[in-house]
Amino acid sequence: MSTPSELVVDRIERARLVPVVVIDDANHALALAEALSAGGIRCAEITLRTSAGIGAIAAMAELDGFTVGAGTVLSPEDVDACADAGAEFIVSPGLDASVVARSQQRGLLALPGIATATELQAAARLGLREVKFFPADRLGGLGTIIALSAPFPGMRFMPSGGVNVDNVGDYLAHPSILAVGGSWMVPRSMIAAGDFDAITHLAADAMALVASLQSPERQPA
DSSP 177: B
Cβ neighbours, 10 Å, residue 73: 30
Note the pLDDT of residue 221: 34
Note the pLDDT of residue 218: 39
Question: 46 lies in a domain?
Answer: yes
**Would you name the residues annotated as active-site residues?**
45, 132
Q: Report in angstroms the alpha-carbon separations of 164 from 84, 179, 202.
A: 32, 13, 12
Question: 216 lies in a domain?
Answer: no
Question: 221 lies in a domain?
Answer: no
Q: What is the CATH number of the domain that holds 62?
A: 3.20.20.70
Range of the domain at 95: 4-208
Residue of 49, 12, 46, 15 lying closest to 30 (CA atoms) = 46
What pLDDT digit, counting tens, does each position of 53-102 carry? 999 999 999 999 999 999 999 999 999 999 999 999 999 999 999 999 99
Residue of 71, 63, 77 lying closest to 106 (CA atoms) = 77
Cβ neighbours, 10 Å, residue 126: 14
Cβ neighbours, 10 Å, residue 207: 18
